[in-house]
Amino acid sequence: MINWHTLFFLLFAVPTCLFAVAVVASANVVRMAMCLIASLAAVAGLYFLAGADFVGAMQLMIYVGGTLVLLVFGVMLTVQGPSVSLKISSANWLMAGLAGGALLIVLLSAVVGIEAWTSKAVAETAPAVEAGHTVAPLGMGLLGIRVDQLSQQDPTLRRGMSGYLLPFEIVSVHLLVVLIGAAHLARAKRRRTASTPATTAPLNPEP
Amino acid sequence: MADYLVQFGLPVWLAYGGVALMQCLILLTIMMFAAATFTWMERKVSGRIQDRLGPTRVGGRFGWLQSPADGIKLLCKEDLMPAQADKILFRLAPYISFCASFCVFLALPFSNGWVAQQLNVAAFFILAIAGLEVFGVITAGYASASKWSLYGAMREAAQVVSYEVPFGICVLIPVMVAGTLDLVAIGNMQQGWGINWMIFHSPFMFVTFFIYLTCAVASTNRAPFDLAEAESELVAGFLTEYSGFRWSVFFMAEYGSMTAVSGLAAILFLGGWHGPIPIADLLGLTYSNHAILGWFGELLGACNFLFKAFLGVTFMMWLRWTLPRLRIDQVMTTCLKYCIPLAAAMFVGVMLWTYALPGGILPRKTPMAAVAEAPAWTTVETPGGDRP
Amino acid sequence: MSFLSFLSQPVSLSHYLIVGAVLFVCGIVCMATKRNAIGVLMGVELVLNGAAVNFVAFSSPFLRADSQLSLGLDGHLITLFIIVLAAAEAAVALAIALCYYNTHATIDVDEGDELKG
């Protein structure tokens, strides 16, 4: 008897890991970007599978549809000739591989070693979040009201009753700052020295 | 539906797999059929708009045989690939576009409950998936190893990322009024006479609809926003090096996404599967009378929906053959200086309107009542819902 | 046969955490080995996603015997913040990369070893 959750988990987890490894292994930066897209899209599938539908859609929308388009855009603006694939020495590869392998072993031993994390779900006993209906509770949480914690009688178990209004506002302001900052950094600069001609607006060059 | 089949003793995996396959095939058929019909229509509509007849002589009456002939020609044509091209990405690009365009239909309801996967975040999901189509174009542009293709891809990337913002706001406005992201619920809220449609919610919503249309045309890369192809400046943009079957896959993706955004417009603004006159209710074609009658009511609704989506696509064709192509700076100006501020203003306007008149001028259904009205079998399995 | 027996078992929290760990390590190695500035940025994205997968896994009610122990919505909210901040970080990093490219005419981070721009 096939367990569907396991099957779909494999369907998403295996591409996630394989494409992540491909990002590291590939030398061509455009291939890297494409592998990254595939990997992160598969991660969105994992989110849906874990019952986080809004987060999954957000991952697809902002990460894959926004951030990575921006990344590919950047790749295309800078990709030319030798910078398409910059090789590194095999000694560096060996070092990185050893360090990465050691880190992976440490992490995996921690992940597999803790019993509470390896115990399988036997039955669904009062799930904390109703599966796949997280939009409204998340929205209320961002506004500062935790509707999912209302039924919790024990006040010590009532986590984060204050909600996430302040982080939400901080993130909003942060995004605005980033928007202005990035636009300022990446703007087309006019060289004001006489020796170099104006790079932009050739019709009315400044002296 | 899968549960229904399981009752007859089918193994679970066969029932679910079979139903999933069937839904995929139905959607694929709809997409192919839409592409073929719209190719033919494009010829006829463009002909009429330019005061000529379009195809008449060859290919039967009204030239309807020309689309099948076109299809066969494209299948038999040689798939050319430039020697400098990135082979894998060049092959992959059309399918990325097509997959993204196809996946939109997974969450798009055709009638009350007629949807491959009823998602709680359907509107958001469609918005997200529709944004992924740009990757196919960017990949094609890069992999073709041609400067025209790369120019086209760059323009497309800039355009799509920019237009996603006002497009998102325009989708958000009806969602805010409805109070749910579930497209089935949003469609059911607009039940009744045509005046219940979301577009007539408030004057602000009326304006929003036209901003939505502008952004939809831009995000599907249709003229006058088809800067990525721009045959007068970039040969054919990202499509320059494509031929034969791969080109036709791009083509189908374009028509698929046109249908998808028109369908989304129909659900969000134009009442979805509810016509201006509630014929199904007046004739008694509801589930409360009989399951079969209810099914026919749904069928009528699906026809309604498809007709509205079809109208949307026709409108896009009309635009294409009427307006001249914009320059790239004009495209960006339209987005950043007009669409985004207008959409944001409409957002505030609709918000204030809803706040001042919570019930609206006309009595409306609450979203929760609409959800409760969906037939029971529409609650298909949630992802990973089959846990032991 | 062991594959089939794995298929019939429900997945546990640690399976998701393994995916998170693989993403994290790939990201670290990517950051360490890539000479392309945007390649380094991709490594950062992988690391952030590894963390986000862990948060979603911890907040999922399906993966443990006792679902009361799951993080609930907190994990989802933190993941949302990760996604949004990653977008902001990518925008700034990309702007810096473009600036760097404008001044150095290359994207190789090894070339940027002087302090004046």
Beta-carbon separation of C10 and B387 below 8 A: yes
pLDDT tens for each residue of B208-217:
899 998 888 8
Smallest CA–CA distance from C106 into chain A, residue: A83
CATH number for C29:
1.10.287.3510
Angle between helices C37-59 and C13-33 (to 10 degrees): 170
Residues of A in contact with B385 (CB under 8 A): 131-132
Q: Using CB atoms, which residue from A61, A73, A76 is nearest to B124?
A: A61
Topology given in CATH for the domain delimited by A1-87:
Four Helix Bundle (Hemerythrin (Met), subunit A) (1.20.120)
Token duo for residue A76: 């295309």
Residues of C in contact with A153 (CB under 8 A): none
What's the CA angle centered on B226, arms B255 and B237, to 5 degrees?
100
Question: Of A106-115, A148-157, B62-71, B241-250, which gets the smallest average pLDDT?
Answer: A148-157
Torsion angles phi and psi, residue B111, rounded to 5: -160, 180
Beta-carbon separation of A66 and C87 below 8 A: yes
Residue C51 has what pLDDT? 92
Instruction: End-to-end CA distance of chain A: give it in Å, rounded.
Output: 79
Number of domains within chain C = 1
Higher pLDDT, B108 or A116: B108
Chains touching A (at least 3 CB pairs under 8 A) are B, C
Residue B122 has what pLDDT? 83
Q: Is residue B379 over pLDDT 50?
A: no
Provide the residue range defining the domain that includes C57: 12-62+70-109
Residues of B in contact with C10 (CB under 8 A): 387-388
Token duo for residue A115: 């019993």
Residue B154 has what pLDDT? 82
Closest alpha carbon to B188 in B293, B118, B292:
B118
pLDDT tens for each residue of A43-55:
988 888 887 888 8
Chains touching C (at least 3 CB pairs under 8 A) are A, B
Q: Is residue A62 over pLDDT 60?
A: yes
Residues of B in contact with A183 (CB under 8 A): none
Distances from the Cα of B140 to the Cα of B63, B146, B154, angstroms: 32, 10, 11
Chain C nearest-CA distance from A103, in A, is 7
Distance (Å, whole) CA A24 – CA C108: 16
Token duo for residue A198: 């104006």
Q: What percent of chain B has pLDDT over 90?
A: 1
Distance (Å, whole) CA B217 – CA B258: 8
Segment A109-123 shows an average pLDDT of 72
Query: Do residues B133 and B306 make contact, with C-beta atoms less than 8 angstroms apart?
Result: no
- Residue A11, number of CB atoms within 10 A of its CB: 13
Residues of C in contact with B387 (CB under 8 A): 10, 62
Q: Is residue C97 part of a domain?
A: yes
Smallest CA–CA distance from B385 into chain C, residue: C62
Distances from the Cα of A90 to the Cα of A96, A97, B236, C11, C70, angstroms: 10, 10, 43, 38, 43
Closest alpha carbon to B374 in B158, B114, B24:
B114
B337-359 per-residue burial string, b: 16 or more CB within 10 A, e: under 16: eebbebbeebbebbeebbeeeee
Residue C114 has what pLDDT? 74
Token duo for residue A171: 């993130």
Which of the 8 DSSP states describes residue A28?
B
- Residue B17, number of CB atoms within 10 A of its CB: 12
Residues of A in contact with B154 (CB under 8 A): 73, 76-77
Identify the burial level of A159 via C-beta atoms within 10 angstroms of its C-beta, where 0-12 means exposed, 13-18 middle and 19 or more buried: middle
pLDDT tens for each residue of B297-335:
778 888 888 888 888 888 888 888 888 888 888 888 888
Q: Is residue B66 part of a domain?
A: no
- Alpha helix locations (H) across B86-121? 87-107
Q: Is residue A126 over pLDDT 70?
A: no
Smallest CA–CA distance from A7 into chain B, residue: B384
Q: How many CA atoms lie within 13 A of B371 on its CB side?
A: 13
Query: Do residues B110 and B309 make contact, with C-beta atoms less than 8 angstroms apart?
Result: no
Smallest CA–CA distance from C63 into chain B, residue: B387
Distance (Å, whole) CA B169 – CA C46: 29
Residues of A in contact with C19 (CB under 8 A): 13, 16-17, 46
Smallest CA–CA distance from B387 into chain C, residue: C10
Query: Do residues C34 and A92 make contact, with C-beta atoms less than 8 angstroms apart?
Result: no
Provide the residue range defining the domain that includes B170: 86-372
ipTM of the predicted structure?
A: 0.85
Smallest CA–CA distance from A32 into chain B, residue: B89
Query: What contacts A172, CB < 8 A, 6 or more positions away?
Result: none
Q: Using CB atoms, which residue from A6, A138, A175 is nearest to C7?
A: A6
Widest Cα–Cα separation across chain C:
62
Residues of B in contact with C62 (CB under 8 A): 384, 387
Smallest CA–CA distance from B387 into chain A, residue: A5
- Residue A148, number of CB atoms within 10 A of its CB: 22
Q: How many CA atoms lie within 13 A of A133 on its CB side?
A: 9
Residue B374 has what pLDDT? 45
Query: Do residues B64 and B40 make contact, with C-beta atoms less than 8 angstroms apart?
Result: yes
> pLDDT band for position B258 (50/70/90)?
confident
Q: Is residue C116 part of a domain?
A: no
Distance (Å, whole) CA C84 – CA C82: 6
Residue given tokens 């794995």 in the structure block: C6
Which of the 8 DSSP states describes residue A195?
S
Residue given tokens 């409306």 in the structure block: B364
Among B13, B142, B387, the strongest candidate for a mutation testing the C interface, having the largest count of C CBs within 10 A, is: B387
Residues of C in contact with A83 (CB under 8 A): 36, 106-108
Smallest CA–CA distance from C51 into chain A, residue: A43
Contact pairs from chain B to chain C, CB under 8 Å: 4
Query: Do residues C42 and A74 make contact, with C-beta atoms less than 8 angstroms apart?
Result: no
B303-316 per-residue burial string, b: 16 or more CB within 10 A, e: under 16: ebbbebbbebbeeb
Angle between helices B122-143 and B244-268 (to 10 degrees): 160
C36, β-bridge pairs: C108
- Alpha helix locations (H) across chain A? 4-25, 29-49, 53-58, 68-78, 90-113, 115-118, 135-143, 165-186
Beta-carbon separation of A41 and B132 below 8 A: yes
pLDDT tens for each residue of A150-170:
666 666 656 556 678 888 889
Q: What is the mean pLDDT of chain C?
A: 82
- Residue B269, number of CB atoms within 10 A of its CB: 26
Distance (Å, whole) CA B8 – CA A201: 73
Residue C24 has what pLDDT? 92
Q: Is residue B101 part of a domain?
A: yes
pLDDT tens for each residue of C43-65:
999 999 999 999 988 887 777 66
Chain C nearest-CA distance from B387, in A, is 7
pLDDT tens for each residue of B322-371:
888 888 888 888 888 888 999 999 999 888 888 877 665 555 554 444 44
Segment B244-268 shows an average pLDDT of 86
Residues in B whose CB is inside 8 Å of some CB of A read: 13, 16, 86, 89, 92, 119-121, 124-125, 127-129, 131-132, 134-135, 138-139, 141-142, 150, 153-154, 157-158, 160-161, 164, 180-181, 382-388
C108, β-bridge pairs: C36
> pLDDT band for position A189 (50/70/90)?
low
Residue B65 has what pLDDT? 76
Angle between helices B244-268 and B147-178 (to 10 degrees): 20
Beta-carbon separation of B86 and A30 below 8 A: yes
Question: Of A62-71, A94-103, B19-28, B190-199, which gets the smallest average pLDDT?
Answer: B190-199
pLDDT tens for each residue of C71-111:
777 888 889 899 999 988 888 888 888 888 877 777 777 77
Residues of A in contact with C52 (CB under 8 A): 43, 59
> pLDDT band for position A190 (50/70/90)?
low
Torsion angles phi and psi, residue B114, rounded to 5: -90, 80
Amino acid in the structure at residue A176: L
Segment A135-160 shows an average pLDDT of 70
Smallest CA–CA distance from B87 into chain A, residue: A31
- Alpha helix locations (H) across B323-366? 328-333, 340-356
Q: Which of residues 42-101 of A touch B (CB under 8 A)?
A: 48-51, 53-54, 57-58, 60-61, 64-66, 69-70, 72-73, 76-77, 79
- Alpha helix locations (H) across chain B? 2-6, 12-49, 66-76, 87-107, 122-143, 147-178, 183-189, 203-219, 231-234, 244-268, 279-282, 291-322, 328-333, 340-356, 367-373
Per domain, the residue ranges of chain A are 1-87, 88-132, 134-188
Q: Is residue B17 part of a domain?
A: no
> pLDDT band for position B225 (50/70/90)?
confident
Beta-carbon separation of C62 and B388 below 8 A: no
Angle between helices A135-143 and C73-104 (to 10 degrees): 80
